[in-house]
Structure 1
Amino acid sequence: MDEKIYNPAEVEQKWQKIWEETNAFKTNEDDSKPKFYALEQFPYPSGDGLHMGHVRVYTIGDVIARFKKMKGYQVLHPMGADAFGLPAENAAIQRGINPREWTLKNMERIRSEQKRLGVSYDWDRYVGTCLPDYYKFTQWLFLLFYERGLAYKKEAAVNWCSSCNTVLANEQVEDGKCWRCDNEVTKKELSQWFLKITDYAERLLQDLDQLDGWPDKVKMMQKNWIGKSEGAEVVFTVPELDNAKIPVFTTRPDTLFGVTYMVVAPEHPLVPNLIAGKENEEKIKQFIEDLKKESEIARTATDVEKVGYFTGSYAKHPLTGENIPIWVANYVLMDYGTGAVMGVPAHDERDFLFAKKYDLPVKIVIQPKSEEKPTLDEMTTAYTGDGMLVNSDIFNGLENREAIKKISEHLKENGKGKPTVSYRLRDWLISRQRYWGTPIPIVYCDDCGTVPVPLDQLPVVLPEDVVFDGKNNPLTTSESFVHTTCPSCGKPARRETDTMDTFIDSSWYYFRYISPHEDTKPFDSKEVNKWMPVDEYVGGIEHAVLHLLYSRFFTKVLYDAGLISHQEPFKSLLTQGMVIKDGSKMSKSKGNVVSPNEIIEKYGADTGRLFILFAAPPDRDLDWTDTGVEGSHRFLNRVWRMVQQHLDTITKTHELKVETEAEKELRRMIHVTIKRATEDIDERNNFNTAISAIMELVNKIYSYPADGNKALLKEAIEKVVILLAPMTPHITEELWQMMGHEDSIHNVSWPTYNEEYLVLDEVEIVIQVNGKIRGKIVIPTSLSKEEVEEKVLGLEKISEWTQGKQIRKVIVVPGKLVNIVVV
C-alpha cells in the first residue's frame, strides 16, 4: 500500500470544516455525567490578532477540556471577546472610524484564528462585551449594586493618566505609571463612580483559605493587596477648629504616649482650615500643588526624602491632653488609612528620621527588658523591639504586647477611639472618561436628583453622533445622548457621560457563557448553579489582583443577592508562564514576535500546539526555539508514518497473545504510558511529561519485532493516537478515521490501565563493590532481598572482587542495585 504523506494544511482544513458543519463542540449536556467548566481568559480584540501567549493559554485549556470530555464529563468550554476599551477608541481617532467597526472586525479575525488552532469552543455561546445584548446586563448588574448601596458617586482625588485622558483605579497604577501606556500618573479632583469593594474586604481575605486549587503566589498577592492590619483608631481633636476630629489608625497603640507630633496628608480636608492665616500658609499651598504632579509610589518610596511643613495648628492628645503640633508631609496619603498618622519618633524609624530632620521632640515609652536602657542622647535610631512601657501613665510596667490591647480598650471606654481593623484595599473606581465602554445607566434631573434608568429601558445604547478628537470624552459631544427625559418625573434631564471600566465587563462574563441567549436577565440562576464555579481557569498571573479580585467581589455580591449558590467563581486556577524568545518576552518592540499564523502555515496548528505543551510545564516560562518546533513536527510525522506502515495490521482483527519478553514489555509500556499520561494531565497539568511518555511508547513500537503479536501492536498504536488526541486534535482525528473508525476520536473514552501489567517480571540491576560498578544482572522481580543477595554473591565475576576480603555488609536497593561493602 502506498503511504500517504502527512499534509497538515489539508488535514486541518478538512477537520475544521467538518467540526463546524457538525457543531462538534456543542456542550454535551448530560446530567447523568459530572460537570466540568473549562475556561480560558478571553482576549482583547486588538488589530494585532493573536500572539503565542494566547496560543499557549488556549492550547492548555483545550487539552483540559478535551481530556475531561474523554474522561466522561459533560464539559462547558466557551469563548468570547473582552471587546470594550481604550485601544479601540485610539484606533477610531487615528483611522477616523467608529470603534465598533474596528472592534467587530478584529473579533471576527481572532475567532477565525482560534478556529485555525482547532480549539474546541462551543461557538453558540460566544459573547462580545461590546454588544448591546451583553452590556445591557452589565448595566443591569450596575443597578443591582446601586440598589444594594454598593455603587456611589463622590468627589475624589483620582489617578489621572494624561496620555489615555482617563481615570485609573488604584490597581491599574503600577509603580506610579499607567498599566496600559506606562505614562506617569498624577492626581486630579473629579466626581467619580465607585463600587464598595471595601465592604467585602474581610470576606475576600478569609475566603482565600478555601481556594486550594489556586497557586499560593496568587493568593499571597491578593492578601497583600487587601492589606489587613489590626490596631486601634485614635481620635485627636483640634480645639481651635471647634474640636474637629482627626482620627488616626495605628497598629501600635502601645506607643500612644510617645506621640510628639502628627502628620496629615496634603489632601486632607482639614488642611485649608489648619493653615488659614498661619505663617506657612502660602508655602503649604504651593507644596500641595507641586505634589499633585507626583505619583503615590514616588511619594511613599523608602529612598525618597520626607518633606513636611508645620501647619501652625495643634491637636489635643486624647489621653494626656498635650498640644501636639500638626504637620503636612509628602509621605502621608489620603487614600491610605485615615489620611493622618501620629508621629512616634522613638519607636518608628521613619518618624525618627523626620523628627531629627525638623528638630521635633522624641519621647521614649518602651524600654527593652535588658539592663541596657538607651537614653535620648544615646539614640541613633528608633527602638522598634518589644519591652516594658515607661512614661505611659497608668500603663507603666506593662509589656508592650499586652499594652496594645489594654490601651485600645481604654480608648474605647473613654470615647477617644476603639480597637479596629484597617485595610489597604480602597473602593473600586469604575468611572472612565471615554466612549468605548458600557454607559453608566444613571440620569441627572434638577428636580429628582440622581435617578437610575429603569430596567425596562435598558440597554442605554452608545450613540453614533460623537466626535473622536482625542481632546474630550466623546460622549459629551452627542446631543442626542446627553439630553434625555427623567424616568421619574418626565422633565428634561442629562445622562451620565462616564462609561464603566472594562474590568466590570470581565468580572461576570463567565456567568453569561452559561446562558448567553437569556434576554430578560444576565443569566439563568438554575443553570449557573449547575455549572459554577469554573473548575479550571487558565490565564496570566498579571491579572492576580485586578481581574481575579474583582471577579471574586462580583460573585459574592451575586451570592448575597440570592442569584447564585456559590461564593467563589474559580475552583482551580492555572497561571501559565510567558513565552520567551532570545531571552526576552515576545513583543513587537523587541522584534522577537513569532506569529501563530506563521507556524500554522509552515508546520500546522498541531505542531504549534505540541511544541507549546512539550517545551515547558505550563506554569513556567517557555523558551521559544525553532529547532524545538521542528522536533515536534518530526515527531508527528513519525506517528503518521507509524500508522501508515501498520495500516494493514490495524484495520484487521487479530488474536491477542502475550508470550514473548518483547510482547510483555510492549504491553507493560502501553499501561505505564496510560498511567503516566493520565496522572500528568489530570493531577499535575504536566503536559510535557505526558508527551514524553507517549514518545517513549512510540519508540517501543518502532523497535517491536516484526513477528510480534499483531493484536498487541494494534492496541499500542491505537493507544498512542488516543492519548495524543487532546493535544493534537487534527492529525489524530485523521489517523483515527484512516484506521477504520467511524466515530470521532474525541468521543472515544480515555483509556484505563491495568495495575497487573505495570509490574516487570524481570529487572536489570547494577552490582557494586565498595560503590564501584563491577557488573549487572537480570533477576526476577519476585525475589526477596535475601534471595537477591544470595544470587549476587554467587556470581563468579563478583567473587573475583570479594575473594580474600571480609564482607562487612550487603546493601540491596530493590529493583536498582546491590552494593557489597568489603574490607
Structure 2
Amino acid sequence: MLEKYIPQEIEKKWQHVWAESKCDCCTEDNGKPPYYVLEMFPYPSGNLHMGHVRNYTIGDVIARYRRMNGYNVLHPMGYDAFGMPAENAAIKHNIPPAEWTYSNIANMTRQQKSLGLSYDWDREVATCHEKYYKWTQWIFELLYKRGLAYRKEAKVNWCEHCNTVLANEQVIEGKCWRCDTPVVKKDLKQWFFKITDYADRLLEDLKLLPGWPERVKTMQKNWIGRSEGLEFSFDIPSLKEKVAVYTTRPDTIYGVTFVVLPPEHPLVGKLLENNPKKAELEAFCEKVRNTSDIERTSTESEKLGMYTGIDCIHPLTGKKVQIWITNYVLYDYGTGAVMGVPTGDQRDWMFATKYNIPKIITLQPKDHELKLEEMDHAYEDKDGVLVNAGPFTGMEMHKAMSAIIDYMEEKGLGKRRVNYRLRDWLISRQRYWGAPIPIIYCPKCGEQLVPEDQLPVKLPEDVKFTAGAVSPLATSEHFVHCTCPKCGGPATRETDTIDT
C-alpha cells in the first residue's frame, strides 16, 4: 500500500546512482540501492507538537517498511537550530543562545526516542554546531568565488526591537511578525545570493517535475515572473532628466497619461527640490516607505498617490504626462517607474478615476467601438485593434506590439528587454545566533575571504545584546579585530550572520 507514496522517478534515479557508484558506508550489496528517508528537521523550540509527531511517524513507517524489504536505509535526525527565536528566548531568560538551544535539543531528542522512532542517532546534526556551520561558510565562499555572493546597499525592512532585517514575509500589516513592533525602512549594506542568474534554468527545469501539482508549478512561474517587453524613457524638461519605464504591453503606449514613481526612486529627491508641495510630498513618501512591499503590492490595498506638479513628455506624441508618487510601485522591479494607462489596466483606471487623471482609449474590440463616456472599467481583453495610436491605428494588438517595439528601436527611443519578478536573496542578518559571514575587510586589500583552512569562523561568547542597529558580534573586540589574510595588516571581520 505504501508504494503509491514513493515517486517512481525517484526510485529510478536512486537505482542509477547506485549502479554508478557505491559509498563506503553501504558495504553490503544485496542488489538494492540505499534508501533515504529525509525527515523535516525541527526548530528546537523546546517541545514537539502533534504536527511533528504526525510527520515523523509517517517517515518512520516508510523507513521500517524499506528495511523489511532489504534496503539500506539512511534515516537521520537533525535540528535547524539557528535564528531569532532562540536568541530572543535566550535574552529573555538571560542565558546564552547555545545553552538554550542545546537544552531544547536534548528534550526533543528524549521525546523522539520515547516515541520509538527508528533514527540513526549516530548521524544526528545541529546547524548551530561549528562542525556543521563550517560547511555553511564554505558554501558561502564557493558562491563568492563564483560571483554569486555579493554585498550592496539596499533598503530593507528593519525592526527596532529585534534590531535586525526582516524578509517581506516577516512583515505583517507593517509590523514585525515576532514582536509587533512597527517596521521601518533603512538603508544598509547587505549580503545577497545571486539567484536571479538561475531564473531561466528554474523555469526550464519545472518540466522535470511531472509529479508536482500544476498549481504549485504555476506559483513558481509567477514567483520568477519572466516577461518580455519594451523599455523606453520619458523626458523631464524641467529637470533635464529622463525617467525609464518597462511595459509588457507596448500596444497601449499611446494611452499613457501618467507615470508613477515609488518614494525610493532616485528621481524623487530632484522632483521635491524647490517643490511648493515639498513638505506634504515628503510626509507621504515617509509613510509609504514604512509600508511592507507585500502590503504595497496587494490587490486589496488602497492605491494612494500625490501629483508632483511636474510633467514629462511622451516620446511618440509629444504630449505632457503627469508624474505621480504612489504606494503601489516598487523600485526594485523593472525600471522602478511604471507608465499609467487608465483604459488598459483596471488598477490604473481606478487610480485615474480617483484623482481625475485624463484617460485615452487606444484599444477596442474588433466588433464595436468603445466610448469613454460609456465605460466604467478598463478594457483588459487580450484581443482588439488599436485606435488613437498614430501610424499603428487599426492594427491588431499582437502585431502592434512587435511593430511598436521595432519602431522604437529603429528610432532609438527604446529597446526590447526580458524582465523578472524574482529578486536576489538577501541573506545577511544583524544578529548573533547564526553562521558568521566569512569575510574580512582590509583598508588596503578590500574584501577578503577567510582562508579555507581557518574555517569555521566561530561565534564569540563575549558579546552584548544591546548593540542597537548593529550585530551583537560587533561588540566582541577579539572577534572584530583580525589580520588581513593577504597583506597581514590590521583588518576587521564582517559582523553580520547568515539568515537560517
TM-score normalised by L of structure 2? 0.88
Q: Partner of 1:95 in structure 2? A: 93
* 3-state SS of 1:191 partner: strand
The one-letter amino acid paired with 2:295 is: A
Following TM superposition, by how much is the alpha carbon of 1:470 offset from its aligned partner in structure 2, in angstroms? Answer: 7.5
Show the counterpart of 1:378. Answer: 374
- Aligned equivalents of 2:56, 2:302: Cα separation in 1: 47
Give the 3-state SS of the residue equivalent to 2:229 in structure 1: strand
CA pair 68-237 structure 1, distance change in 2 beyond 3 A: farther
Q: How far, CA to CA, are the matches of 2:27 and 2:182 in structure 1?
A: 50
Which whole-Å CA distance do the structure 2 matches of 1:292 and 1:201 have between them? 28
- Matches of 2:55 and 2:206, distance apart in 1: 24
- Post-superposition offset of 1:323: 3.4
Deviations 1:418-456 (A, max 9, x none): 333332221111111110000011112222222221212
Task: Tell me which of 455, 458, 466 is aligned to 1:458.
Answer: 455
Per the TM alignment, residue 196 of structure 1 is displaced from its structure 2 partner at its CA by 1.2
1:336 Cα deviation (Å)? 2.9
**Distance in 1, Cα, partners of 2:234 & 2:422:** 24
**Counterpart residue number, 2:445:** 448
Do the aligned residues in 2 keep the contact of 1:27 with 1:74 (CA within 8 Å)?
Answer: no
Superposed CA deviations along residues 335-368 of structure 1, whole A, max 9, x for unmatched, are 3332211011121122122222333221111122
Counterpart of 1:125? 123
Q: Distance in 1 between matches of 2:474 and 2:35?
A: 45
> Any idea what SS the aligned residue of 2:38 has?
strand
2:7 paired residue number: none
Deviation at 1:297, TM superposition (A): 3.3
Give the letter aligned to residue 106 of structure 1: N
**Correspondence for 2:5:** none
What pairs with 1:231-242 in structure 2 (closer than 5 Å)? 231-242=229-240
Q: For residues 134-153 of structure 1, what are the structure 2 equivalents within 5 Å?
A: 134-153=132-151
- 8 Å Cα contact 1:280/1:309 also seen in 2: no
Contact 1:29 1:74 in 2 (8 A): no
User: Post-superposition shift, 1:84?
Assistant: 0.8
How far off is 1:269 after superposition?
Answer: 1.3
Superposed displacement of residue 42, structure 1: 0.4
Q: Note closer, same or farther for the CA distance 1:456–1:412 as it changes in structure 2 (3 Å cut).
A: farther
Q: How much does 1:256 deviate?
A: 0.6
Q: Secondary structure at the match of 2:453?
A: helix
Structure 1: how far apart are the matches of 2:296 and 2:445?
Answer: 42
Residue matched to 1:72: 70
Q: How does 1:710-725 map to 2 (within 5 A)?
A: none
* Residue of structure 1 in register with 2:221 after alignment: 223
* Equivalent in 419, 422, 427 of residue 425 of structure 1: 422
Please tell me whether residue 257 in structure 1 is matched to residue 230 in structure 2: no
Q: Residue 254 of structure 1 contacts residue 403 of structure 1 at CA under 8 Å; is this kept in 2?
A: yes
- In structure 2, what residue type is equivalent to 1:141? I
SS at match of 1:326: strand
Partner of 2:35: 36
Give the one of 355, 360, 384 matched to 2:357. 360
Provide the secondary structure at the position in 2 that maps to 1:497: coil
Deviations 1:310-335 (CA, angstroms, capped at 9, x unpaired): 22433333333433222111111213
Paired residue secondary structure (1:339): coil
Asked whether the equivalents of residues 164 and 431 of structure 2 are also in contact (C-alpha less than 8 Å), the reply is yes
Paired position in structure 2 for 1:657: none
Q: Which residue of 1 aligns with 2:279?
A: 282
Tell me by how many angstroms 1:492 deviates.
1.5
Give the alignment of 1:158-197 within 5 angstroms.
Answer: 158-173=156-171, 178-180=176-178, 184-197=182-195
Q: Deviations over 1:182-211 (max 9, x none)?
A: 655432221111111111122222212212
8 Å CA contact 2:38–2:75 kept in 1: the answer is yes
1:234-269 Cα shifts (integer Å, max 9, x gaps): 33343444444x332222111011111101111111
Kept in 1, the 8 Å contact 2:136–2:435? The answer is yes
Relative distance call for 1:374 and 1:57 in structure 2 (3 A) is same
Whole-Å separation in 1 of the counterparts to 2:319 and 2:106? 70
Alignment of 1:52-67 (within 5 A): 52-67=50-65
Q: Distance in 2 between matches of 1:239 and 1:73?
A: 74
Q: Distance in 2 between matches of 1:450 and 1:468?
A: 26
Distance 1:117 1:464 in 2: 35
Give runs of aligned pairs for residues 340-739 of structure 1, distance below 5 A.
340-371=337-368, 373-385=369-381, 386-469=383-466, 471=468, 473-502=471-500
Gaps of 5+ in 1: 1-25, 503-823
SS at structure 2 position matched to 1:247: strand
Mapped to 1, the partners of 2:135 and 2:214 lie a distance apart of: 33
Summarize the Cα distance change of 1:465–1:57 in structure 2 as closer, same or farther, 3 Å threshold: same
User: Which deviates the most, 418-427 or 96-105?
Assistant: 418-427
Q: Determine the structure 2 residue equivalent to 1:803.
A: none
Cα deviation, residue 173, structure 1:
4.2
The answer on whether the counterparts of 2:255 and 2:361 sit within 8 Å (CA) in structure 1 is yes
Instruction: Say whether the 8 Å CA contact 1:27–1:76 is kept in structure 2.
Output: no
Structure 2 CA distance for partners of 1:269 and 1:478, relative to 1, 3 Å? same
**Contact conserved, 1:42 with 1:82, CA < 8 A, in 2?**
yes
1:229 and 1:172 mapped to 2: Cα distance? Answer: 27
Q: Distance in 1 between matches of 2:154 and 2:429?
A: 14
- Contact between 1:226 and 1:425, CA under 8 Å: does it hold in 2? yes
> Is the contact between residue 463 and residue 476 of structure 2 (CA under 8 Å) also seen in structure 1?
yes
- Percent identity, aligned pairs only, is 60
Deviation at 1:383, TM superposition (A): 1.8
Amino acid in structure 2 at the alignment position of 1:159: N
Is the Cα–Cα contact under 8 Å of residues 467 and 475 in structure 2 kept in the other structure?
no
Instruction: Look up the equivalent residue of 1:287 and give its one-letter code.
Output: F
Residue 305 and residue 46 in structure 1: after superposition, are their counterparts in 2 closer, same or farther (change >3 A)? Answer: closer
Structure 2 residue corresponding to 1:82, chosen from 80, 83, 94: 80
User: How far apart are residue 178 of structure 1 and its match?
Assistant: 4.3
> Does structure 1 conserve the Cα–Cα contact (< 8 Å) formed by 2:264 and 2:289?
no
Structure 2 distance, partners of 1:469, 1:413, is 59
1:110 is displaced (CA, Å) by 1.6
CA distance in 2, matches of 1:181, 1:229: 38
Taking a change above 3 Å as real, the CA distance of residues 293 and 175 of structure 1, as seen in their structure-2 partners, is closer
Two-structure CA RMSD over aligned residues (Å): 2.3
* AA aligned opposite 2:370: P
Residues 169 and 294, structure 2, Cα contact 8 Å, conserved in 1: no
Match of 1:790 in 2: none
The CA deviation at 1:289 is 1.4
Q: Secondary structure at the match of 2:322?
A: strand
Contact 1:299 1:331 in 2 (8 A): yes
C-alpha contact 1:176 1:296 (8 A) present in aligned 2: no
Residue 176 of structure 1 and its aligned partner are, at CA, apart by: 5.1
Q: Could you tell me which amino acid in structure 1 is paired with residue 116 of structure 2?
A: G
Give the deviation of 1:489 after TM superposition.
1.7
Q: Of Structure 1 and Structure 2, which has the larger fraction of its residues in helix?
A: 1
Give the Cα–Cα distance (whole angstroms) in 2 for the partners of residues 126 and 220 of structure 1. Answer: 36
Q: Is the 8 A contact 1:275 1:312 kept in 2?
A: no
In the TM superposition, what is the alpha-carbon distance from 1:408 to its structure 2 partner? 2.6
**Structure 1 residue aligned with 2:206:** 208
Moved more, 390-399 or 132-141: 390-399
Task: Indicate the SS of the match to 1:39.
Answer: coil
Q: Contact conserved, 1:184 with 1:295, CA < 8 A, in 2?
A: no
User: 1:322 and 1:437 mapped to 2: Cα distance?
Assistant: 55
Matched residue of 1:40: which SS? Answer: coil
Is this contact kept in 2: 1:27–1:77, CA < 8 A?
A: no
Please identify the structure whose Cα radius of gyration is greater. 1
What's the secondary structure of 2:417's corresponding residue? strand
